[in-house]
Amino acid sequence: MNARLDSFSYDDDIVRKFLWATMIWGLVGMLFGLIVALQLTMPELNFAPYWTFGRLRPLHTNAVIFAFAGNAFFCGAYYSTQRLLKTRMWSDGLSKVHFWGWQAIIVAAAITLPLGFTQSKEYAELEWPIDIAIAVVWVAFAVNYFVTLTKRRERHIYVAIWFYIASIITVALLHIFNNLSVPAGAFKSYSIYAGVQDAFMQWWYGHNAVAFFLTTPFLGLMYYFMPKAADRPVFSYKLSILHFWSLVFLYIWAGPHHLHYTALPDWASTLGMLFSVMLWMPSWGGMVNGLLTLRGAWHKVTEDPILKFFVVAVTAYGMSTFEGPMLSIKSVNALAHYTDWIIAHVHTGALGWNGFLTFGMVYWLAPRLFQTEMFSKKLMEWHFWLATFGILLYVVAIYSAGATQGLMWRAFDETGRLQYPDFVETVMRLMPMYWVRVIGGTLYITGMLIGIYNLYKTWATRPATYEVPVVQAAPLNPVYAADHAPATGGFWTRFTDMGWHRRWEGMPLFFSVMTAVAVIVASLFEIIPTFLIKSNVPTLASVKPYTPLELAGRNIYQREGCFNCHSQMIRPLMYETERYGDYSKPGESVYEHPFLWGSRRIGPDLARLGGKYPDLWHVRHMYRPREVVQQSIMPAYPHLQTKVIDFVAIQKSVDAMAMIGVPYGDAVNKAPEMARAQAAQVAASVEAAGGPAGLADKEIVALTAYLQRLGRDLKNATAGTGAQPATAPPAKAAVPAAPGGSH
């Protein structure tokens, strides 16, 4: 040991900033959750263009994930990292850049999403300028973090730091590679990937956003704040090691389980499932280490609301990480996919795990950061119980909704017909459960408001100036000295002794490289075959690029967030093809930049919508959905009948698509003319059918043209000259028999 001691202090100012940001954005994100939940029960609460479900739902998810959970991670990471490494953050300036940059990104998201700027990839909706800003801010955070690691005064890095490192590295990778796109304007871009590949990349990203933004950072927080709050040692160091590495390596593979039964090749889907199943125990390692850390401290749980929050958080984590592997099993997924089951699953995770861990952490931090007593323990208890009942109401209702709708979709009656062929009937059945969700969400938000009030009152009694304690620690000895006697014996003994890992913990940069290798190798095992194996996506000669007008319509479809409620991916399952037509083929998506397969059917699938209804039907339906489909909960989009198509921008869209390899031919030079000509045709058909006149330059015409195109390429190919579009097996077209003469 060195005789000389360094004197230094921690930067708690940045932690206080992140703490407030966590709570304020958390409230905003949850309020938007409540708003979109209400919109599903009362479609009149949609006010086009800026205030519709399709535009606000991404605002809710982004705010909760990146603003609430993100700021919570940063808050806890800045607090714990400095103390675990016995050093101040390397650069206060970069910490500030991180804080203010992140908040600016959130504000930009809150403005651009209601404006309809979206890449339409879930949790990666933000358009390219904001994506670049995210990358820059993240790099600032990473640089600050890794330099701080080298400045540490603690030889070994604690398990919390491992999880932070894995999060920082992997999120950067995921973000950059999923968001590669070609701009077609200041706030419009097209993913460089198409169809199957884009879907794969998106769910590689999407699933690992759950892993490395909502799981590993919070495991890191758990490993610091839970033993602190319980004042108990961590249950098992060996378990930490094993579950960290297995989690980091296995998680990366699991993404394709979001695409079971889609046009993604079977092998990828199977890998996604098997790795998800193997992920069960690595995930539970965190739960076990968390709950068993409380051994000998359970009596404290009854008295301490902070520990209560932690216990429920870890339990919710255990439930959702059991459910995740279960949902990844193909046959279970066939029922749950596209339903509210998935919504319930993520809310167990988000409200229970992320929310409660954050609240426990914030309440533990508040008196320390504000250097005063917590204003009210009673209000903490109120927060806990309101939020707990809120979660219960929410998830029980939404699990029921998911199972109900999934079972209704697949039900056949005794004559071999779909029992509920009318989609809207399966939606109406969910309404009582949707109302229970609204009540549950309201309880949760009420708890949040109480929490913010309690924190505010605590903050109000802070000292005039914060005391900045001076800490002393010896600098790091440049020569590595092992703190455990190295194990002797055979390879296996030495391996299980984990002395080698102890050494890794003394070399954080090496440790980081190994973590990066684990996630990159696992990724490449799936990414390379997905892109290189030709048979993954058999080409279909009949599939042609969208016309310029249809492409403009597709832009509108993206802008209005239609993909939030409508899938475009019919699975090869009997009840799906009965309802929607032939299942979707990989080759149909080759020009889909980005893919728009969707993940939830609040409305019906649209993959074979083209030609199902006349043009006028779409015009009227968009204008006032409930005049056409009684009980529909779709928002009305009247502005599409007045808003003029930006014909000049169509050229930019076509050019961007051409740049990423879509064979546009002539349209590269004359997209606006082609679009005008087609628009005139569609408008004429609408007028001839008795619809409104003068729509030839209005957005509704572009959207209609797009919707009428969906699924047509394959129909045209299989129908040949056909007067009979071959969506159904011919046997189904027979005149219905009088069943058994009983009628």
Partner 1 sequence: MADNDKLLDHAYDGIQEFDNPLPTWWKWIFYATILVVPIYYWDPMGIGVGPGKEKAYKQQMAAFNAAHPKTAGAYTDDQIAAFAGDPAKVEAGKAVYTRHCVACHRPDGGGQIGPNLTDDFWIHGGRPTEIMKTVVEGVLAKGMPPWGKMLKSDEVEGVVGYVQTLHGTNPANPKAPEGAKYPADSAAAPAATPQTKGM
CA 508, CA 641: separation in Å to the nearest integer?
A: 59
Q: Which of 228, 429, 462, 670 binds partner 1 (CB under 8 A)?
A: 228
Q: Which of 507, 613, 646, 716 binds partner 1 (CB under 8 A)?
A: 613
CA 320, CA 339: separation in Å to the nearest integer?
A: 16
Site membership for partner 1, residue 421 (CB under 8 A): yes
Site membership for partner 1, residue 720 (CB under 8 A): no
Number of residues that bind partner 1 (CB under 8 A): 82
Residue type, 617: W
551 CB contacts (<8 Å, ≥6 apart)? 545, 650, 653, 654, 657, 706
Q: How far is the CB of 236 from partner 1 (least distance, A)?
A: 4
Residue with Cβ nearer partner 1 (114 or 611)? 611
Site membership for partner 1, residue 538 (CB under 8 A): no
Q: Which of 41, 270, 371, 376 binds partner 1 (CB under 8 A)?
A: 270
CB atoms under 10 Å from CB of 493, counted, come to 11
Q: Which of 145, 251, 284, 341 binds partner 1 (CB under 8 A)?
A: 284
Q: How far is the CB of 564 from partner 1 (least distance, A)?
A: 24
Q: Which of 220, 235, 459 is nearest to 357 (CA)?
A: 220
Q: Which of 107, 392, 533, 728 binds partner 1 (CB under 8 A)?
A: 728
CA 402, CA 441: separation in Å to the nearest integer?
A: 17
Residue with Cβ nearer partner 1 (183 or 638)? 638
Residue with Cβ nearer partner 1 (183 or 614)? 614
Q: Reduce the DSSP state of residue 497 to 3 states and report it.
A: helix
Q: How far is the CB of 445 from partner 1 (least distance, A)?
A: 33
> CA end-to-end span of the chain, whole Å?
95
Q: Which of 599, 592, 511 is nearest to 248 (CA)?
A: 511
Site membership for partner 1, residue 246 (CB under 8 A): yes
CA dist 557 → 7, 55, 244, 593, 622 (Å): 59, 11, 41, 13, 12
- Look up residue 709 and give its two tokens: 């195109």
Q: Which stretch binds partner 1 (CB under 8 A): 99-107, 227-235, 443-451, 599-607?
A: 227-235
DSSP string across 58-83: HHHHHIIIIIIIHHHHHHHHHHHHHH
CA 5, CA 9: separation in Å to the nearest integer?
A: 13
Residue with Cβ nearer partner 1 (213 or 275)? 275
Residue with Cβ nearer partner 1 (331 or 465)? 331
Residue with Cβ nearer partner 1 (115 or 574)? 574
CB atoms under 10 Å from CB of 172, counted, come to 18
Residue with Cβ nearer partner 1 (202 or 240)? 240
Number of residues that make up the chain: 743
- Look up residue 222 and give its two tokens: 């758990």
Beta bridge partners of 427: none
Residue type, 98: H
Site membership for partner 1, residue 612 (CB under 8 A): yes
Please, are residues 356 and 387 in contact by the beta-carbon 8 Å criterion?
A: yes
Site membership for partner 1, residue 222 (CB under 8 A): no
Site membership for partner 1, residue 224 (CB under 8 A): yes
Site membership for partner 1, residue 156 (CB under 8 A): yes
CB atoms under 10 Å from CB of 486, counted, come to 11
Residue with Cβ nearer partner 1 (359 or 583)? 583
Q: Which of 136, 147, 422, 538 binds partner 1 (CB under 8 A)?
A: 422
Residues in 26-85 at the binding interface with partner 1, rule: CB under 8 A: 80, 83-84
Q: Which of 663, 633, 535 is nearest to 37 (CA)?
A: 633
Q: Which of 183, 499, 529, 611 binds partner 1 (CB under 8 A)?
A: 611
Q: Which of 48, 139, 274, 516 binds partner 1 (CB under 8 A)?
A: 274
Residue with Cβ nearer partner 1 (114 or 367)? 367
Site membership for partner 1, residue 536 (CB under 8 A): no
Please, are residues 250 and 273 in contact by the beta-carbon 8 Å criterion?
A: no
Q: Reduce the DSSP state of residue 189 to 3 states and report it.
A: strand
Q: Which stretch binds partner 1 (CB under 8 A): 131-139, 194-202, 305-313, 610-618?
A: 610-618
Site membership for partner 1, residue 617 (CB under 8 A): yes
Residue with Cβ nearer partner 1 (463 or 690)? 690
CA 243, CA 266: separation in Å to the nearest integer?
A: 28
Residue that has been written with the tokens 């993520």 in this structure: 346
601 CB contacts (<8 Å, ≥6 apart)? 338, 339, 565, 566, 567
Residues in 464-483 at the binding interface with partner 1, rule: CB under 8 A: 483
CA 313, CA 151: separation in Å to the nearest integer?
A: 33
CA 354, CA 377: separation in Å to the nearest integer?
A: 21
Residues in 82-121 at the binding interface with partner 1, rule: CB under 8 A: 83-84, 86
Site membership for partner 1, residue 281 (CB under 8 A): yes
Site membership for partner 1, residue 322 (CB under 8 A): no
Site membership for partner 1, residue 237 (CB under 8 A): yes
Residues in 650-689 at the binding interface with partner 1, rule: CB under 8 A: 689
Site membership for partner 1, residue 595 (CB under 8 A): no
CB atoms under 10 Å from CB of 101, counted, come to 18
Q: How far is the CB of 160 from partner 1 (least distance, A)?
A: 8
Q: Which of 41, 91, 236, 542 binds partner 1 (CB under 8 A)?
A: 236
Q: How far is the CB of 612 from partner 1 (least distance, A)?
A: 6
Residue with Cβ nearer partner 1 (39 or 708)? 708
Residue with Cβ nearer partner 1 (39 or 727)? 727
Residue with Cβ nearer partner 1 (486 or 572)? 572
Q: How far is the CB of 696 from partner 1 (least distance, A)?
A: 19
Site membership for partner 1, residue 533 (CB under 8 A): no
Site membership for partner 1, residue 373 (CB under 8 A): no
- Cis peptide upstream of residue 572 (ω within 30 degrees of 0): no
Residue type, 153: R
